[in-house]
Amino acid sequence: MSSSTNVKRKSRAKANPIWDLIQSDPNKIFSESLKRLAERFPTLTKLQLCVAFFIQIGLYSWQIAQKLYVTEHEVEKIRSRIRKKLGIPKNVDLLTYLIAI
């Protein structure tokens, strides 16, 4: 992996305006966002809710995998299951969909 790829990956999360809020009070933001997602999508498991939250704040699959101590492939499978449960077509960006809710 090149250093320019690392810079791009790191800058995506930091460029997200929600990121500053999360860093200021992560427990409050995390719990409120998860609560909102759980109320809106009661069929999602706790793990799927966590992945949805991380997607919502702009993290890449590899970053989510590191935070949850799973493989990137596992995160991709969870993303796929989230799409299926929420009925999101493959031509709709999951990040855009989750931000819009």
DSSP-derived letter for residue 43 is T
CATH of the domain at 34: 1.10.10
Tens digits of per-residue pLDDT, 79-99?
999 999 999 998 999 998 988
Average pLDDT rounded to a whole number, residues 37-66: 90
Residues 6+ apart with CB under 8 A from 16: 57, 58
pLDDT > 60? residue 1: no
How many independent structural domains does the chain possess?
A: 1
Structure confidence at residue 65 (pLDDT): 92
Residue span of the structural domain in which 37 resides: 3-100
Spell 4-39 as b/e; 16+ CB within 10 A means b. eeeeeeeeebeebeebeebeeeeeebeeebeeebbe
